[in-house]
Structure 1
Amino acid sequence: MKFWALTFLLLSSQLAFSQAEEDCEEDGSSKLVAAVMKQSKAEESGNCPDKKKLMNMCMFIGSRTKDPKPVGASEYMYYRRIMEASCVDSKNDSEAETQNKIKKMWNKLENEMVCNSTIFDISNGNYIKYAVNTKFDEFIENVTEWKVNLNKVDASDGRTVLDYVKFHMEKNKGNTIEKKMKYYYDLLREAGAKHKSEL
């Protein structure tokens, strides 16, 4: 009789211990730690920055594709994709953390961040030049806020984005496009953009 009582007690203790482990796994703080660990492992394994998230970026910029479920402050798909490529946690990362992650992604991948299009007057021009070409104000405003490198010289045209804007400003002297280019020039200049001759 004592043997069965002892066996029952041991089995009950084991069941209680297993239930406690399950309860711990379901606890919110445990899930948060697991999510952080998962993100860290993703970063360590080379998934961050994630260049696959930049696929179709030129289309998103050129067509101003809207995001059906906007992330953060923008209604456009390019914004979501840049956040995802940079592994930004839009709900928890501070403005400074977001900016640092985007800069890190941009520095690592900027040689691959180029566009080609029949409406683009250069081949393999960087995203910022393409946004200038398509007159996409919000994209240009975002890159100046993120403080990414604005001074890449594209091999295809030998110009920085500021050189590119100045060329189009002079080319369109006296028409409405000149005013738009002047806005971009001043915005980029204030954010640290330089002419190739100044680098």
Structure 2
Amino acid sequence: MKKIILVVVLLSFALPLQAQRHPKEEACFEKLRNGEAKGLRGICEHVITPDFVNDELSYITRFKKAAGVLPEDSEEEVNRKIRQVWSEYEDCLTCDTIAFSLRGGSILKAAHVSGNATFYRTVIKWGVNLNRIDPVDGKTVLDFFRDELNKNPPGIEFYRVYYNVLKEHGAKHASEILTK
């Protein structure tokens, strides 16, 4: 009986919190549900735990679909189309999953959960914006990697390598962006 009461109490707290969304989150949810980029719904799960779909990582397949990529498109055209969709939906490319501690943080940050190095190489190839300042923490992906390095996590080499790779490809700290 105590277990049932505990579950009911926990649900009474969790359900209202889950139903409440920030207006910007709600706008993104609607945009993805009703827009051309429906394939980007749930993209976070595909970044954190990618599957293979037709010999391609699932998040790549989803971005290509959302971008309207055609089989005959050149690699340059594919990258341009994906970059355009990324730019249009950037505020919606966030993660709200138990696997990622920063609720509503960018998928650029969430990919670290699984050490998804391929994701970072892919987004660099696409040429997406690496300098979005997340409203949830006021930091860029470069700030995030710096902070993770300072914690000395078990996978510190991963953070060091991708901090440097992202920086080489134009990623900046929020302080560098905000002082301009």
Runs of 4+ in 1 over 3 A off after TM superposition: none
Aligned to 1:87: 68
Q: Is the 8 A contact 1:169 1:177 kept in 2?
A: no
Unaligned segments of structure 1, at least 5 residues: 1-48
Aligned-residue RMSD, C-alpha: 1.4
Aligned to 1:64: 50
| Alignment partners' CA distance in 1, 2:50 and 2:91 | 22
Equivalent residue letter for 1:168: E
**Alignment partner for residue 148 of structure 2, among 164, 168, 189?**
168
Percent identity (aligned) = 33
Q: Say which SS state the counterpart of residue 103 (structure 2) adopts.
A: coil
Larger Rg: 1
Q: Indicate whether 1:180 and 2:166 are aligned.
A: no
Deviation (angstroms), 1:176: 4.0
Instruction: Tell me the TM-score normalized by structure 2.
Output: 0.75
| Alignment partners' CA distance in 2, 1:194 and 1:133 | 21
| Alignment partners' CA distance in 2, 1:114 and 1:176 | 25
Question: Deviation per CA, 1:127-160, whole angstroms, max 9, x where unpaired?
Answer: 1111123211111110011110000011111100
Aligned to 2:107: 127
Q: Say which SS state the counterpart of residue 83 (structure 1) adopts.
A: helix
Deviation (angstroms), 1:113: 0.8
Q: Is the 8 A contact 1:150 1:192 kept in 2?
A: yes
Instruction: Tell me the TM-score normalized by structure 1.
Output: 0.68
| Alignment partners' CA distance in 2, 1:134 and 1:124 | 17
Q: Indicate whether 1:193 and 2:144 are aligned.
A: no
Q: Trace 1:27-66 onto structure 2 (pairs within 5 A).
A: 50-66=36-52
Unaligned segments of structure 2, at least 5 residues: 1-34
Question: Deviation per CA, 1:78-113, whole angstroms, max 9, x where unpaired?
Answer: 110011111111x21112211111111111100011
**Alignment partner for residue 105 of structure 1, among 68, 85, 93?**
85
| Alignment partners' CA distance in 2, 1:187 and 1:133 | 18
Equivalent residue letter for 2:92: E
Aligned to 2:94: 114
Aligned to 1:18: none
Equivalent residue letter for 2:141: V
